[in-house]
Amino acid sequence: MKHTFAVSIGGAAGQGVATPGNIFARIFARRGLYLNAYNAYQSIIRGGHTFLTIRTGPEEVTNSGDKIDLLIPLNQDTMDRHLGLLGPGAAVIYNGDNIKPGPVASGVRLCPLPVSDLTHNSRNKVGQNTLAVAAAINMVGIGFQPLEEVLTQQFKRKGDAVVAENVEVARTAYQYATEHFEPFPRPLPMTDHPKAVITGNMALAMGGAAAGVRFYCAYPMSPSTGVLHWMATHARKAGIMVRQVEDEIGVINMAIGAAHTGCRAMCATSGGGFALMTEGLGMSAMIETPVVVIDVQRAGPSTGVPTKTEQGDLWQMLGAGHGDYPRAIATPFDVGDCFKIIPEMFNLADRFQCPGIVLTDLLLSEGTTALDPEDLDFNVKIDRGELITSANGNGTSGNGAGGYKRYLFTESGVSPRAIPGLPGYTHTAATDEHQEDGVLISDEFTNPIKRREMMEKRQRKMVGIEAAVKPPELIGRPDAGVTLIGWGSTMGVIQEAVEMLNEEGITANQLQIRWMVPLHGERIIEILKKSKRTIIVENNYSGQFARYLRSETSFVPDGHIRKYDGEPFMPHHIVEAVKDQLAGRTKLSVPMHEIMV
């Protein structure tokens, strides 16, 4: 078992859960520890219940794990909801003045802080949170200096007085913990390689910046809004135009307009906004102007649960828009992959002049992780494909006389794309069906032969797209007794479940799908036909990937593990479900989420 440590902080929205969360994350990452932070929250600005879990450790941490080592309830509600989750060895730090613990499992340490005494009856509520953080830092074996540095950074924009007050309060609590609380037996180690703390939304935005996005537009929609925020904040330094548009229909159309001039243009939304964009996606494919769209899934249908995660938009992506057209759909594995996938998708969209969809979810977009800063490499490969950006003498004399054909038939299906402004390449890009020179064959000049040729030209691109993308690979021992199949953001949790199963003597391996379109169905079948037993794990009700895989390959797995309660899988959910299925108790497991958030 990996050495990890999980601290959970809970309270009402507006009570300052985020600040201690940030402080922990910074301290851990600066020690070179990996981390994963997941905030279970509600769509309420003040009140409700927010529960942030940060799990850290010297090896990569990909999910929130199964157990809480330290609970910091900022209010009675959090204490009541979550104390029962703690097992032997765990501790709870709380304000002993006004929060009362209920019945507690044996071996759980109660660490009440006499907050009024320690703060000399100060009314500074954030001070309370700082007390708890300081005591926690003491108990995990981290010195006071790193805490002081992070507190200074965290509060410096509020002025020196606030910094001094927080540092003083922290020092008092740190000292109090030394005197009164037993430290955790295994202190958190330190490496000399500090990590970068980053969310999926930030990674997606930075990936766009690395890809050379010059135009980003969006309509605010949880849980994708973080992309807009990063873009807006960094637009001037990065040389990106950022626009907030009146609706998602405007967003996709504006992005395509910008892309049509030769810019790289991107937009992000969630399921409901994506639904509004679907006609626009078809336009991108029809006029062959590339655009990259990010869909950050939240629990649907309709408005659904805006602050909860799901993998429920797959079929929407597959079927987005009417008619058949080429597209690429990728589902990044983790926050680091959110950064990498964007330049890859832009190269693909540019080369094949079609829409590229990045399908991720709240779990990644709002999840926080620690990455090696080297993993954020902005020197990415750029491939603009067949783009004509200068009039090089091959121009024509207008009226189509010289014969530039924007939609020239080629073996690859890709036609050299001239951007507006070049003399000699004037043409009309139409959403109506058209012939090679762009003239419509939709109204007056309908022509079944030309229509067929143009459909086949566009669809031929899929052959190239399939060849351009890496097929999936089996992870783990090939002779395992069970293969767990997942897609996108479940990469980490399935990986951990596989490790746990192997430790228990149940041999397991993993097939994780990153590219939905192209799917590489033959390769998948080649892998799965060697598997002894197959189980598809996904965060939705109907088994959207299972149905897609069957529709593309006729493959039917032995079992399914699904979850659609808004919360992500925990490793033990998968482990227990696999055991149930191996014992023949069920073929469809729907784990119960124990944490009430």
Footprint on residues 101-140 left by another protein (CB under 8 A): none
145 binds another protein (CB under 8 A): no
Q: Which two tokens stand for residue 90?
A: 């765990």
CA distances from 203 to 209, 315, 317, 452, 491 (A): 10, 25, 21, 41, 17
Using the structure block, give the residue that is written with the tokens 């080297």.
374
Write the DSSP string, 551-580. Answer: HHH----SEEEE--SSSPP-HHHHHHHHHH
**Taking the complex as a whole, how short is the minimal distance between the CB of residue 24 and another protein, in angstroms?**
15
**Taking the complex as a whole, how short is the minimal distance between the CB of residue 395 and another protein, in angstroms?**
9
402 binds another protein (CB under 8 A): no
257 binds another protein (CB under 8 A): yes
Residue of 301, 236, 288, 240 lying closest to 267 (CA atoms): 240
Q: Give the ranges where 58-188 is alpha helix by DSSP (H).
A: 76-82, 115-118, 125-139, 144-155, 160-180
Distance CA 314, CA 271 (A): 10
Q: 233 in helix, strand or coil?
A: helix
Q: Give the ranges where 432-505 is alpha helix by DSSP (H).
A: 448-468, 491-503
212 binds another protein (CB under 8 A): yes
279 binds another protein (CB under 8 A): yes
**Taking the complex as a whole, how short is the minimal distance between the CB of residue 327 and another protein, in angstroms?**
17
* Closest CB to another protein among residues 283, 484: 283
Distance CA 5, CA 70 (A): 8
Q: Residues of 345-359 as b/e, b for ≥16 C-beta within 10 angstroms? A: bbbbbbbbbbbbbbb
* Closest CB to another protein among residues 431, 507: 431
**Taking the complex as a whole, how short is the minimal distance between the CB of residue 155 and another protein, in angstroms?**
17
Of 179-208, binders to another protein (CB under 8 A) are: 194-198, 202, 206
403 binds another protein (CB under 8 A): no
Member of 72, 256, 364, 516 binding another protein (CB under 8 A): 256
Residues with Cβ < 8 Å from 311, sequence gap 6 or more?
297, 361, 487, 488, 489, 490, 538, 539, 540, 544, 545
Beta pairing, strands 213-218 & 109-113: unpaired
Which range touches another protein (CB under 8 A), out of 154-162, 358-366, 382-390, 565-573? 382-390
276 binds another protein (CB under 8 A): no
Distance CA 283, CA 286 (A): 5
* Closest CB to another protein among residues 98, 428: 428
Member of 14, 47, 189, 373 binding another protein (CB under 8 A): 373
Beta sheet of 47-57, edge-to-edge order: 109-113, 91-95, 70-73, 5-13, 47-57, 34-40, 368-371, 196-199
260 binds another protein (CB under 8 A): yes
**Taking the complex as a whole, how short is the minimal distance between the CB of residue 390 and another protein, in angstroms?**
5
232 binds another protein (CB under 8 A): no
Cβ proximity of 88 and 107 under 8 Å:
yes
534 binds another protein (CB under 8 A): no
Of 13-52, binders to another protein (CB under 8 A) are: 29-30
Q: By rule CB under 8 A, what string of x and - marks binding of each residue 489-528 to another protein?
A: ----------------------------------------
376 binds another protein (CB under 8 A): yes
Of 416-475, binders to another protein (CB under 8 A) are: 419-432, 437-440, 443-445
378 binds another protein (CB under 8 A): yes
* Closest CB to another protein among residues 291, 570: 291
Member of 227, 283, 363, 511 binding another protein (CB under 8 A): 283
